Structure 1
Amino acid sequence: MKNLISKAGRAIALQAVALVSCFAMFSAISTTHAEMPPLPQQMWQGKSDVQVADEARRDPNKYCTQCHETANATGKPFSHAGKHFQHGTKSPNSGEQVTCVSCHGNMSENHRKGVRDVMRFSKMDQKASKPELERTVHEQNQVCVACHTADKLREKFWAHDTHANKIACANCHELHPEKDPMKAIPEKQRIKLCTDCHTKIQAHKEEVKAQEAKENQ
Structure 2
Amino acid sequence: VVMAHTYQARDFAPALAARLGRPLVADVTAIAGAWPDLTFSRPCFQGKLSADVRLREPGQLAFVAVQLGAFRVADAPGGTPPSVRRVDVAIAPGAIRQVPEAPFQEARQSVDLSQAERIVAVGRGIKGQEHLAMVESLARALGAEVAASRPICDNGWLPMARQVGSSGQTVAPRLYIALGISGAIQHLVGMKGSRTIVAVNKDPDAPIFEVADYGIVGDLFEVVPAMLAAIEQG
Bigger-Rg structure (1/2): 1
| TM interval, short-chain normalised | under 0.3
Structure 1 or 2: more strand by fraction:
2
What is the TM-score normalised by the length of structure 1?
Answer: 0.27
What is the TM-score normalised by the length of structure 2?
Answer: 0.26
